[in-house]
A and B are shown apart, each in its own frame.
Chain A
Amino acid sequence: MAKSPLFPVLVFLAITASQAVSTAMAQPPRQPLDPLTAAERATAEKLVRSDQRAREYLGDAATLVSIEFLAVKGLKDEVVRHADLLFSRPDTEFGARAIVRLTPTPSIVEFTRVDRKSVPMTANDIQEAWKIALADPAYRARLKRDPGTLKPEALRMYTEDPKDPCFSGRCFYLIVRDGDYYVSNASVTVDLATKRILPERSPK
């Protein structure tokens, strides 16, 4: 059988296709717009925490609030994978946002200070505030029920009065959900900075 002049091309395509199939079987397909992988998240966080300028700003106590995928435009329609990280410092009134380019070599492309109102609370903040509330005998007595089925939700409270404990932005106004309704007389304000319950106040 005479070989076609396209034979080498076809062999190359067949080998490439078989490699692609075996690669796909070995690991999940990775596409430019897929969510961040655990490895990418770890790389981005580690890079920021080890960066000298970021370390000077954030210190060792910074909490990673969020990390999101960001598709930045490269040449033509190319997707350049980035991670968008937000850190908070519980001991201060501000946080920081870092944009990390993930390929080809991970690097920090933006690092900016974020004011306290723009640093969102985290699920951990809410759980910590809930634990502090439940540890208070007076609050438990007011709750009058097993907290096991309850779910706390929170508003973050700010004041402009430097003398107010909530000036630090670490006060959380909790309301308590039981299924499809909120438990009456169960709201409570917790100051995470001092880890105590504050006298009842309105979120307004």
Chain B
Amino acid sequence: MKRVILGALFVLLLSNTAWAQCSAPYFVEQAFPVGGAEETRWRICWQSQGKHGLVITAAFFRKSPSSPFLRVFWDARLGEIFVPYHPGSPRFLDLSTYSQGLVTLNKAHCPASAGGTLLGSPPVVCKEVHDRGLAWMNDAHVRRGQEVVLWGTIDAYNYNNVVLWSFRDDGAVEGRYGATALNLPGSESVTHMHTPIWRLDIDLDGFQGDSVHHVSHIESGASATDPSTLVSKETGLEWKADEFTTLHVHDSALKNAHGQASMYHLMPLRWGRPRHQEGFSKSDFWVTLYKGSELWAKDLPAYISNGENVANADVVVWYMGAVHHLPRAEDGESVNGTFRGAAHLMWTGWLLKPHNLFDRTPLFERRDP
């Protein structure tokens, strides 16, 4: 009896580390499926920060009610939004120089009818819980997926920079950035890029013992291989469209029930590869050794300059996406000398996909033959 109670208290303490780290409204907990018997669950902490906007300060995932929570993020945030205009100037660092924090939202931004709940005081974050479309289908058999989404909008001069984090019922995370609002006054028709760079401190099963592999896809005649290279030193890496470049982040001890190494794959969702003259835009991925104060993407070349070991260590990965904005009539028009309209959202982002985290197909009712 004594052992049972003490054991229960120990389990309670362990599970508490996954949730007792922030309080409402900064704590978001969501079990899936909504309204049904629980299969998976997320516990998330967030903060509104003046420069970085909507920051995820912790995220834990539980793959089944009987499994322990797994920390996925220690911290996830945008490390910069770089906006260079095609003539060569201006070149804005929207976060470090121009961010005025998150825009206050209202019910029109975040309607309850869309699964929305406003968070914060004043409300600056919208939480949406909703259907995410097909998770899988097999002829007549089908399962639709669900997600909990947190989004907020960084106000930077004329632009609204929408930062969105989607935590899915299958353990995947999608990070998205979108630009909207008014084109730059006086330069409404000038083409430019919005180049967000995310800082993702992925800590699986504790923050030590993580490694990153750089994985490519190589075709040779009729066959193909997917070579995987351990990233051993701090560095910047290129994304190559024809190589389907991804980063695999894994922990030295974390395995599923089959003994397979559990990991997350960082998979770009993009249309192109920006290359600006600034050093921090010369790579699409960066891998750095964790340092608490290293938060700014513009300093990435300095962060990696001493080439510290990042194998079996506490690593941080950075990812650069891009929105290539060719102004169009749909962005707005000049009415009596005043520009009226709004550029609709254009998105870029990434998918963080679990790999061998589960022991079998998630969100799947198994019927043994």
Interface set of A (CB-CB < 8 Å, partner B): 5-6, 9, 28-35, 66, 68-73, 76-77, 79, 82, 84, 97, 99, 110, 117-118, 120-121, 123, 153-156, 175, 180-185, 187, 202-204
Contacts and interface: CB of A to CB of B under 8 A. Distances in A.
Contact of A69 (B47, B182, B290): B47
Given A155-B157, A156-B97, A181-B338, A71 B75 contact: yes
Contacts of A121: 97-98
B23 interface: yes
Contacts of B293: 70, 84, 97, 99, 110
B326 interface: no
Interface string B268-306: 000000000000000000000010110100100000000
A66 B22 contact: no
A79 B21 contact: yes
A120 B96 contact: yes
B158 A29 contact: no
Interface string B46-57: 011111100001
Given A33-B58, A77-B17, A203 B90 contact: yes
Contact of B337 (A34, A185, A187, A202): A185
A154 B157 contact: yes
A204 B49 contact: no
A31 B337 contact: no
A180 B342 contact: yes
Contacts of B292: 70-73, 82, 99
B26 interface: yes
Contact of B158 (A5, A34, A68, A153): A153
**Considering residues A29, A31, A84, A99, which has the most beta carbons from chain B within 10 angstroms of its beta carbon?**
A31
B189 to A, nearest CB: 14
25 contacts: A6-B2, A31-B20, A32-B22, A33-B26, A33-B45, A34-B22, A35-B47, A68-B49, A69-B57, A72-B292, A73-B290, A77-B207, A84-B293, A99-B292, A120-B97, A153-B157, A155-B92, A175-B158, A181-B340, A182-B338, A182-B339, A183-B338, A184-B338, A185-B337, A204-B187
Contacts of B50: 66, 68
B4 to A, nearest CB: 10
Contacts of B87: 204
B186 A187 contact: yes
B182 A181 contact: yes
B49 A77 contact: no
B5 interface: yes
A96 B356 CA distance: 45
A136 to B, nearest CB: 20
B73 to A, nearest CB: 11
Contacts of B227: none
B358 interface: no
Nearest to A203: B90
A185 B338 CA distance: 9
A39 to B, nearest CB: 16
A183 B92 CA distance: 22
Contact of B71 (A32, A71, A77, A155): A77
A31 B17 CA distance: 11
B89 interface: yes
Contacts of A70: 292-293, 295
A117 to B, nearest CB: 7
Given A31-B20, A33-B45, A120-B51, A182 B182 contact: yes
A154 to B, nearest CB: 7
Interface in B204-263: 206-207
**Considering residues A34, A72, A185, which has the most beta carbons from chain B within 10 angstroms of its beta carbon?**
A34
A35 B98 CA distance: 22
A12 B96 CA distance: 50
**Considering residues B45, B85, B87, B342, which has the most beta carbons from chain A within 10 angstroms of its beta carbon?**
B45
B185 A175 contact: yes
Contacts of A32: 21-22
B161 interface: no
Shortest 10 CB-CB distances between A and B: which pairs? Answer: A72-B292, A33-B22, A184-B337, A29-B23, A33-B21, A33-B45, A204-B89, A182-B185, A184-B338, A33-B57
B114 to A, nearest CB: 22
Contacts of B295: 70, 84
B100 interface: yes
A113 to B, nearest CB: 13
A22 B311 CA distance: 47
Nearest to A157: B90
B57 to A, nearest CB: 5
A108 to B, nearest CB: 12
Contacts of B57: 33, 69, 71
Contacts of A183: 338
A189 B90 CA distance: 16
Contacts of B58: 33, 71
Contacts of A99: 292-293
Contacts of B85: 204
A72 B87 CA distance: 41
B182 A5 contact: no
